[in-house]
Amino acid sequence: MNFQTLGELAKLAEERGIGIGSLMLEEQSAESGRPKELEFAKMADYYEVMKDAVRRGLTDNTTSPSGLTGLDAQRVKSYSESDEPCLGGAASEAMAYALAVSEVNASMGRIIATPTAGSCGIIPGVFISCQERFGWDDQKMVYGLFTAGAIGYVIANNSFVSGAEGGCQAEVGSAIGMAAAALTELRGGTPAQVVHAVGLALKNTLGLICDPVGGLVEIPCIVRNGFGAVTALAAADMALAGVRSVIPSDEVIQVMLEVGSAMPEKHRETAGGGLAQTPTGRQIMNDLKRSK
């Protein structure tokens, strides 16, 4: 890849006069040695898996094997259909779709890791709800996934994208930044605005720990995906409105690295602290062990 930072990424896109999604497709093809058409087709297949996961999460029984989670997406959807949601319809829909995909994941259904399985709901939640709302075609959405991938590539190589290494800020936080950036570009934002969206979003999740109850990708991962989709919409709106990340987004990524590196091990996916070690969290863990 010809870029290592978000600053370089935006500069390259501006120089070539193309969007970040198109740029990433070119870079991917150069890296893999495979034609652009094949790489695009693979991403298009992934988008179909995302759509299928949303659909299944809104219709199938998503109760997880542990019995701890499931069907929350359907609760949010039917509530927002029968009552005026506080968020408004569009954000409520993004939230329901993100919950749907995360619940499909927890119940051993098929998803795309974006960037991980723990954060797999945010990008589909934002993408598919916005596609329906704005009437975009699939091709545009697939370019959006390349935009999201470009942002994730920079974050992953300069910081981290797994909860075990950097806490939830690295998983859910990165996914929000990726979704916000892609949405900014899909709505016609410039490469500079796309990069601002990343910094704005990441600042809101800095410090978030990874504390899954029982070590399972369920509590609080699923609801954090729902919140994440809403935050991504907010960050995209700020960037499109001209709000800037005064601390440059590349510097915010370095803060994520600093904070994640300083995070105690018990707050990095080990279930040794946080929500996992509350009285109720410990009780759930003991019940799970007994039922083995």
Partner 1 sequence: MRFKDVFSIIGPAMVGPSSSHTAGAARIGRVGRQLFGRMPKSVEVTFYGSFAATYQGHGTDRAIIGGLLDFTTDDQRLPQSLSLAAEVGMEVTFRSGTGLFPHPNTVKLRLYGDEPEEKLTLIGVSIGGGNIEIVDIDGFSVKLTGTYPTILIRHMDWLGVLANVTEVIRKWEVNIGHMSLDRKQRSGEALTVLELDAAAEHLLLHDLGDLPAVHAVTEINLDAGP
Which residues are at the interface with partner 1 (CB under 8 A)?
1, 24, 27-28, 31-33, 39, 42-43, 45-46, 49, 64-66, 104-118, 120, 123, 145-146, 148-150, 152-153, 156-157, 161-162, 164-165, 178, 214-218, 269-271, 288, 292
Residue 219: CB minimum distance to partner 1, A? 12
Residue 117: CB minimum distance to partner 1, A? 4
Cβ closer to partner 1: 114 or 245? 114
Cβ closer to partner 1: 32 or 278? 32
Dist. CA 236–CA 47, nearest whole Å: 21
Q: Cβ contacts of residue 281 below 8 Å, gap of 6+?
A: 213, 214, 219, 275
Residue 215: CB minimum distance to partner 1, A? 4
Nearest partner of 54 among 118, 117, 141, 127, judged by Cα:
127
Dist. CA 39–CA 43, nearest whole Å: 6
Cβ closer to partner 1: 94 or 179? 179
Give the three-state DSSP class for 210. strand
Cβ closer to partner 1: 91 or 175? 175
Cβ closer to partner 1: 39 or 185? 39
Residue 202 sits at φ, ψ, to 5 deg, of: -60, -35
Kindly state the tokens that stand for 171. 């998983």
Residue 162: CB minimum distance to partner 1, A? 4
Cβ closer to partner 1: 62 or 129? 62
Nearest partner of 70 among 282, 209, 219, judged by Cα:
219
**Tokens 């693979």 label which residue?**
42
Q: Cβ contacts of residue 148 below 8 Å, gap of 6+?
A: 114, 123, 178, 179, 181, 182
Cβ closer to partner 1: 30 or 246? 30
Kindly state the tokens that stand for 153. 């590539």
Residue 87: CB minimum distance to partner 1, A? 26
Residue 40: CB minimum distance to partner 1, A? 11
Residue 124: CB minimum distance to partner 1, A? 11
Q: Residue 66 CB: number of other CB atoms within 10 A?
A: 18
Residue 238: CB minimum distance to partner 1, A? 24
Nearest partner of 87 among 218, 222, 237, 245, judged by Cα:
237
Dist. CA 136–CA 184, nearest whole Å: 14
Q: Residue 182 CB: number of other CB atoms within 10 A?
A: 32
Q: Residue 38 CB: number of other CB atoms within 10 A?
A: 11
Cβ closer to partner 1: 1 or 192? 1
